């Protein structure tokens, strides 16, 4: 069969390296001919001009940063599984309190945020009961004060504000579209049980397709503390709680109980704790672990539980 002719121009190795060297030189402050021709123009009347680029520069800019961070975070101080409201609140509190810690967040979805992009029944407003409004005030999220509770006009205003603040901390790395598909467990002589020593990861699309393609082995991230905030629903909800059962460490799940806002929210915040040596559970995953009530469309407990999980992580690390 005749070889397929690739019509687009292909750069040979020397050409690519000379282009990149030229860019490198430029980064070292030496002007190049191409730069002299660069006259970017922010003209919205039809003459908008970008600075020139080579496709390989885009690829290498992404590859370099992503894989350097994977290499660097293979050993983390705290891994947070799940970037919903509880996981992100934990990350914010931890990153703010302990800027020296390497905090790595693993989120199975392409879009972090979990269930906090909307209120209840796909409606947009988010209800937060006092005193959790104090967290909104700290984040600078505006709300309507209704007395015993406050209302954020759109849940996405809370989640996008929290997410942007979490990602602006230099000691936080987020890997989204990346699933935790198992836990690292080691014998723990102190508790005569199993200590969690990190997580087993894979691209989410791989983790969800092990039944369609075999031998797609995972990767690992080791850490002395894992905070599990995987929620209670979705394709991987309550993941770590379920893994504790399937690995024989936990006899059974408590299973989330029916809705009762007044019982559910304090139970989740006050119940946030180290459920297994090295593993803290927070947010709605805890309702599945403990069998506590669900609270429905109020989000203050997710914030309080995440913040408490951060305090628990610091307590363990300082132990």
Which residues of this protein are in contact with ligand 48N, per CB under 6 A?
81-87, 106-109, 114-116, 179-180, 229-232, 234, 236-237, 239, 259, 283-285, 294-296, 299, 302
CB nearer to ligand 48N: give 98 or 116: 116
* Residue 132, marked binder: no
* Residue 86, marked binder: yes
Minimum separation from the CB atom of position 179 to ligand 48N (A) = 4
Maximum Cα–Cα distance across the chain: 76
Minimum separation from the CB atom of position 301 to ligand 48N (A) = 7
CA separation for the pair 86, 215 (Å, rounded):
33
* Residue 295, marked binder: yes
Burial of 164 (0-12, 13-18, 19+ CB in 10 A): exposed
Minimum separation from the CB atom of position 125 to ligand 48N (A) = 14
CB nearer to ligand 48N: give 101 or 284: 284
Minimum separation from the CB atom of position 286 to ligand 48N (A) = 8
CB 142 within 8 A of CB 128: no
C-alpha dihedral (91, 208, 259, 249), degrees to nearest 10: -80
Burial of 314 (0-12, 13-18, 19+ CB in 10 A): middle
CA separation for the pair 88, 102 (Å, rounded):
15
CB nearer to ligand 48N: give 234 or 254: 234
CB nearer to ligand 48N: give 101 or 241: 241
Burial of 251 (0-12, 13-18, 19+ CB in 10 A): exposed
Minimum separation from the CB atom of position 100 to ligand 48N (A) = 25
* Residue 296, marked binder: yes
* Residue 115, marked binder: yes
Per-residue DSSP letter, 255? -
* Residue 107, marked binder: yes
CA separation for the pair 278, 198 (Å, rounded):
8
Residues marked as binding for substrate?
Answer: 86, 107-108, 115, 180, 217, 232, 284, 294-296
Residues marked as binding?
Answer: 86, 107-108, 115, 180, 217, 232, 284, 294-296
């Amino acid at each position: 069969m005749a070889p397929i002719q690739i019509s687009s121009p292909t750069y040979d190795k020397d050409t690519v390296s000379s282009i990149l060297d030229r860019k490198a030189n430029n980064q070292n402050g030496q002007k190049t001919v191409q730069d002299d021709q660069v006259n970017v123009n922010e003209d919205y009347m039809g003459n908008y001009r970008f600075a020139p680029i080579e496709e390989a520069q885009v690829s290498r800019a992404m590859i370099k940063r992503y894989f350097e961070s994977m290499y660097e975070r293979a050993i983390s101080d705290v891994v947070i599984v799940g970037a919903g409201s509880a996981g992100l609140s934990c990350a914010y509190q931890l990153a703010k309190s302990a800027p020296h810690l390497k905090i790595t967040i693993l989120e199975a979805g392409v879009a972090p945020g979990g269930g906090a992009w909307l209120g209840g029944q796909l409606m947009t407003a988010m209800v937060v009961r006092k005193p959790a409004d104090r967290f909104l005030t700290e984040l600078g999220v505006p709300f309507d004060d209704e007395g015993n509770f406050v209302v954020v006009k759109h849940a996405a205003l809370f989640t996008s504000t929290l997410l942007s603040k979490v990602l602006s901390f230099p000691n936080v790395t987020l890997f989204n579209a990346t699933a935790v598909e198992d836990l690292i467990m080691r014998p723990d002589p102190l508790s005569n049980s199993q200590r969690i020593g990190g997580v087993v990861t894979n691209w989410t699309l791989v983790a969800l397709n092990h039944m369609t393609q075999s031998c797609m082995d995972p990767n690992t991230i080791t850490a002395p503390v894992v905070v599990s905030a995987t929620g209670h629903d979705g394709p991987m909800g309550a993941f770590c709680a379920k893994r504790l059962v399937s690995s024989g460490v936990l006899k059974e799940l408590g299973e989330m109980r029916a809705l009762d806002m007044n019982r559910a929210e304090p139970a989740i915040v006050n119940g946030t704790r180290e459920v297994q040596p090295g593993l803290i559970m927070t947010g709605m995953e805890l309702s599945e672990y403990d069998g506590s009530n669900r609270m429905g469309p109020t989000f203050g407990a997710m914030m309080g539980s995440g913040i408490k999980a951060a305090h628990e992580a610091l307590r363990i690390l300082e132990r």
